[in-house]
Amino acid sequence: MGFARRTAADTALVASLPLDPEGRTWIRLEGPGGSEAWLIGWPPGTGTGWHDHGGSHGAFAAAMGRLTEQSLAAQLPTEGWKVLELADDVDRQRQLADGQGRAFGPHHVHQVFNASATEHAVSVHAYYPPLPMMRRYSRVGQVLRLEQVEWAQEWA
């Protein structure tokens, strides 16, 4: 978490990120201790969709603007399912702005988005071990469906 917050406070680095009005932009960073790190720009209204981090621990911090994180306060099985019905009390939501961040464990499922209609947001993300894969989910009401698995070699 310390790395994400310190990097988010680096105004020169944050200002170096090219911002695109249409889609997210990113720069890969040298993370500490073999971790994977990214500086990400979020145009108004953009987000990740529901996903996990393939068993990696992670942390992220807002560097500019405000991000919303919606997460599930439940450990989901990582294999052997395609559709899950979620209990009524598993939803969490938080707002992160200017230096605020959060760390999470290897079973964290969430989505992050910039809810602003007019302002860009920028954030720093770090993962250890480096992301081996990400699972992408769709969600309708309390039903979570595994839609896709992305492997790290697809991002290179």
Where along the chain do its domains lie? 2-154
Q: What is the pLDDT of residue 77?
A: 85
pLDDT at 156 over 80: no
Quick one: average pLDDT of 129-135? 95
Per-residue pLDDT tens digits for 77-130? 878 999 999 999 999 999 999 999 999 999 999 999 999 999 999 999 999 999
Give the 3-state secondary structure of the chain. Answer: CHHHHHHHCCHHHHHHCCCCCCCCEEEEEECHHHCEEEEEEECCCCECCEECCCCCEEEEEEEECEEEEEEECCCCCCCCCCEEECCCCCEEEEEEECCCEEEECCCCCEEEECCCCCCCEEEEEEEECCCCEEEEEEEECCEEEEEEEEEHHHCC
41-73 pLDDT tens trace: 999 999 999 999 999 999 999 999 999 999 999
Mean pLDDT, residues 11-16: 97
pLDDT tens digit sequence for 30-40: 999 999 999 99
Q: What is the pLDDT of residue 102?
A: 96
> What is the CATH topology of the domain spanning 2-154?
Jelly Rolls (2.60.120)
* pLDDT of amino acid 56: 96
**pLDDT of 155 above 80:** no
